[in-house]
Amino acid sequence: MTTAAAPVSAWAPLRIRLYRVLWTAQLTSNIGTWMQTVGAQWLMGSLSRDPLLVALIQTATSLPVFLVGFPAGALGDILDRRRLLLISQSFMLLSAALLAALTLGGNMTPALLLLLTFAIGLGMALTAPSWQAIQPELVGRELIPQAAALGATSMNIARAIGPAIGGALVAAAGPEWVFALNAVSFLGVLGVIALWRRESPAKVLGPEHNGGALRAGMRYVRSSPRMRTVLVRASSFVIFSTALWALLPVVARRHLHLGSGGYGLLLGAVGVGAVLGAWTLPRARARWNLDRVVVGSSLAFAVVAFVLAWVTIVPLVALALLAAGYCWISINSSMNASAQIVLPDWVRSRGMSLYLLTFQGAQAIGAVIWGVIASAWDTRVSLTIVAGGLTLAPLLAYRWPLRTRPIDVRLSDWFPEPRLEMRPAPSHGPLLIEVQYEVPPENADAFRTAMERVGRSRRRSGAQRWGLFQDGAHPDRFVEAYVVETWEEHLRQFQERYTRADEMYVQEARALVREGTVPTARHLVFAYNR
């Protein structure tokens, strides 16, 4: 009889000094960011009466994610992540300080305000992928779910109290002091990262080229069933659930007849629910599998949407928003952790940048959809449709189940050195690699199945095309063929990207070949130089 392991504490990552100090500094910076948004919107309203310009403040903050989010992820994998974080945090500090100085001197214009807000958003877009990618380095892979929940908690706490502090400070002293405090808030993160003595992993072949790095990142995500599942499940939830953030101000004003103070309390209820979620999630994950936690949270969020649509009793709505905060952090931290766990170090920034881009895109699309429906019909209609959409979560889980079997994404040291008479130049290509296997008839079906996993592994690590062929004249002979862009890219496959999970898939297939035979490989180099 075995005893179930006790769930790891939700606060376990905070016992690690470096993570604790960095999390505290990031919380301070997040609060400053939300204060900055309030100050910029208020200042734009003073500089211009055009409501479009006020709305463009939010656009200037979020647009950089769509413009540079994926390239920023590639930079996080190519360059030293610590150095990239230092550069991006310094850039945001200088932008916020310049914004404060120009406002204090009375030299601010609508165009300058949008430009500097865009600059701060650009720094955030550069920071986010590398910030996500360093989490396993800070806490270890076993504490990634807890770290993801704490990261989401930080953002929700900041979302709850940052606007309130920013609004009060704007009223008391003016927006320039909000901008100045936001600039100061970056100092904590800068200081901690500057003191962090990170050992950057050595790259045998040097840094990847920008274009090749982007293509490799896309190939990895496209060829990773687990990563694709995370993106589908996360986006399907966020498209519906973002209606809460988009329509809650309307519900508070029109349905509940609350002022700005009451609206702030409702946001605070969401923040409290998020903190409770981070505290209790480890117990829920220890008791139920990941899919049950995600599906249960989606169905509970559907109930919250229905309550927002039809209930006008403020205490009941506040209780529902507590549940909303819990469900939001439950699903988003689960998806975030699932993405981080499945990504090996060489592509983690790129993979997380695509995750964040999908998340932000789903929020933007969802806000437009539910806003248009609410304008054309009614807020209640929009939220009711949202509730109905979220109840489809069990069907999504059936079609795209979240797999939790551990994957060993550590770098493998197994490298079958090619034996070539000629030595291609690093940029020479493409290359056609053929591997021949002798497989007895009784193992043929199992071999085909095993090679499907090998094929995905080849594509994730760099193959542009892959196929498995059977010799018509000798049915026991199978030939695996795949194309790699350059000789350097092929070397990176095995020296920098080949994980222990990839090695396991190959060994499982090789275990099915005819006894006494060994697979043989040929490397066919393109006969003409480009």
Read off the tokens for 29: 């910076």
Q: Given strand 477-484, what is the order of strands in its sheet?
A: 463-470, 477-484, 431-438, 520-525
Pairing of strands 431-438, 520-525: antiparallel
Confidence of residue 390 (pLDDT cuts 50, 70, 90): very high
Q: Across residues 337-346, what is the average pLDDT? A: 88
pLDDT, position 21: 93
Read off the tokens for 495: 């020296």
Question: Computed over its alpha carbons, how large is the radius of gyration of the chain?
Answer: 26
pLDDT of 368-387, one tens digit each?
Answer: 788 888 878 888 888 999 99
- Supply the mean pLDDT for the chain: 86
pLDDT, position 243: 84
Query: Hey, what CATH class is 431-525 in?
Result: alpha beta
**483 has which bridge partners?**
432, 465
Confidence of residue 173 (pLDDT cuts 50, 70, 90): confident
Nearest C-alpha neighbor of 395 from the set 242, 285, 243, 236: 236
Q: Where do the structural domains in the chain lie, given as residue ranges?
A: 12-196, 216-407, 431-525
- Residue 524 is classified by DSSP as E
Confidence of residue 414 (pLDDT cuts 50, 70, 90): confident
**433 has which bridge partners?**
482, 523
Q: Where are the alpha helices (DSSP H) in 343-422?
A: 348-376, 379-390, 393-399
pLDDT of 198-241, one tens digit each?
Answer: 777 667 778 888 888 899 999 999 999 999 999 999 999 988 98
pLDDT, position 84: 93
Q: Which of 39-48, 282-291, 400-409 has the lowest mean pLDDT?
A: 282-291
d(CA 245, CA 188): 29
Strand extents, DSSP E, 389-502: 431-438, 463-470, 477-484
Give CA 307 to chain center in angstroms.
30
Helix (H) or strand (E) holding 43: helix 17-47
Looking at domain 216-407, its CATH architecture is Up-down Bundle (1.20)
pLDDT, position 55: 65
Confidence of residue 191 (pLDDT cuts 50, 70, 90): very high
Read off the tokens for 430: 């493409």
Read off the tokens for 239: 């498209």
Is residue 82 within 8 Å of residue 200, measured between CB atoms? yes
pLDDT of 72-117, one tens digit each?
Answer: 999 999 888 999 999 999 999 999 999 999 999 988 898 999 899 9
Confidence of residue 145 (pLDDT cuts 50, 70, 90): confident
Residue-wise burial string across 301-325, b where 16 or more C-beta atoms lie within 10 A, e elsewhere: bbbbbbbbbebeebeebbbbbbbbb
Nearest C-alpha neighbor of 137 from the set 325, 343, 326: 343
CATH number of 12-196: 1.20.1250.20
Is residue 35 within 8 Å of residue 178, measured between CB atoms? yes
Q: Where are the alpha helices (DSSP H) in 200-347?
A: 210-222, 225-241, 243-250, 260-287, 290-310, 314-342
Give CA 267 to chain center in angstroms.
24
pTM value is 0.85
In order of 182, 214, 301, the CA distances from 82 in angstroms are 21, 20, 37
Tell me whether domains 216-407 and 431-525 share a fold. no
Which one has a higher pLDDT value, 253 or 493?
493
Residue type, position 398, single letter: Y
Nearest C-alpha neighbor of 405 from the set 221, 226, 284: 226
Is the pLDDT reported for residue 394 higher than 80? yes
pLDDT, position 25: 93
- Strand, coil or helix: 493: helix
Read off the tokens for 451: 């090679």
